[in-house]
Structure 1
Amino acid sequence: MLDGITYGGFNVIDIQELYRKTGLPVIVVMRSYPDFEKIISALRHFSDWEARWNIIKKAGEIEKLVTGRNGTPIYIQKAGIGAKNAEKIIHLTSIRSNIPEPLRVAHLIATGIILGESRGKA
């Protein structure tokens, strides 16, 4: 389970390759639908922007999913797992919010390490 497919300055995770190399299904969770115009604009600052953009496109369809009691949607992409199973995993692991617990707790820990306390959405 990943929190988005870009990390630390637009390092892009190829979720299809991650699945092929590990044999483990991959589910990407996003709080909001990506603004592709802004993403392309930011990527153009890199000499290899087209390769990064192709990885983002190759990640597959973005699906809207409502998990929490408040009805706030999240968006997912997946590799190596069907829509029904991905949805079931997301619902089973979204206990305290619409974000699955593994990602929520990882965010709390990382923010606590960096800032000394957790702030914002987790």
Structure 2
Amino acid sequence: MDNVKFRKIKKEIRILGIDDGPFDFRKDKKAIIIGVMFRGGSFMDGIMKREAEVDGKDITQTIIDMLKKTRHKDLRIIMLDGITYAGFNIANIKQIFKDTHIPVIVVVRKFPDFERIRNALKNFADFEERWKLIESAGKPKKVKVKSVDGRKGYLYIQKCGINLSDAKAIVKISTTRGLIPEPIRLAHIIASGIVLGESHGDA
């Protein structure tokens, strides 16, 4: 599919930010998945809650179903906090875009240690399949961001269904109160708050 073209990126572009909650590898079979509907970096429009299997293979379909069943039909961007959820349940961003026709932007704070990830995946019988999903997301690109209070930093992004300049612009627009886009910052806070009773850790 061709990239979605944006004639103008509005400050209140509707974004679905997705993150998972904390879980215990030793006893939890599933992890909570939170989707936060956000308008740019300004305010929240709604929340969705799902679950995904720990180290499973259902996160891609979970995200697709989340989009297809929401009453918010004007979402323009899917924003993921990384592509691994509930351990090594890996999101196929190309499949998500193909099925939803909504561009996907993956955001991480640090450049991934792909060698460490590859070595960890060798513990899985379907190692090659999972590693191909990691590779298919593409090489992360560096983006300079700035919060409303003047703090500056860098993020790394991968994308599908959108050109790089538009993806960078959307990340910058939605990064306001911290040094990470508000949709995934709030998804992280809410997910950890639901699981632990109180949010904590960097958001």
User: What TM-score do the two structures reach when normalised by structure 1?
Assistant: 0.96
The structural deviation recorded for 1:105 is 0.5
- Provide Cα deviations, 1:33-87, integer angstroms capped at 9, x if missing partner: 1101110111000000111001110111210111124332110000000111111
| Ranges in structure 2 where 5+ consecutive residues have no aligned partner | 1-78
Q: What secondary structure is seen at the aligned counterpart in 2 of 1:72?
A: strand
User: 2:93: which partner in 1?
Assistant: 15
Please give the alpha-carbon distance, in whole angstroms, between the structure 1 residues aligned to 2:162 and 2:126. 29
C-alpha distance in 2 between matches for 1:21 and 1:11:
19
2:175 alignment partner in structure 1: 94
Q: Distance in 1 between matches of 2:189 and 2:87?
A: 21
What is the root-mean-square deviation in Å for CA atoms of aligned residues?
0.9
- Counterpart in the other structure of 1:2: 80
Return the match for 1:45 from 116, 120, 123. 123
Work out the CA distance in 1 between the residues paired with 2:113 and 2:199.
Answer: 26
Q: Which amino acid aligns with 1:95?
A: T
Q: Which residue is 2:159 aligned to?
A: 78
CA distance in 1, matches of 2:120, 2:190: 28
Number of equivalent positions: 122
Q: Return structure 1 stretches of 4+ with deviation > 6 angstroms.
A: none
CA distance, structure 2, for counterparts of residue 4 and residue 31 of structure 1: 9
What CA distance in whole angstroms lies between the structure 2 residues aligned with 1:8 and 1:83?
28
Percent of residue pairs identical? 49
Match of 1:103 in 2: 184
- Normalised TM-score (structure 2): 0.58
Structure 2 SS opposite 1:47: coil
Contact 1:66 1:98 in 2 (8 A): no
> Take 2:139 and 2:98, find their aligned partners in 1: how far apart are those partners?
18
Q: Which has the larger radius of gyration?
A: 2
Q: Which runs of 5+ in 1 are unaligned?
A: none
Q: Judging by fraction of residues, say which structure has more strand.
A: 2
Q: Counterpart of 1:11 in structure 2: which amino acid? A: N
Mapped to 1, the partners of 2:199 and 2:165 lie a distance apart of 33
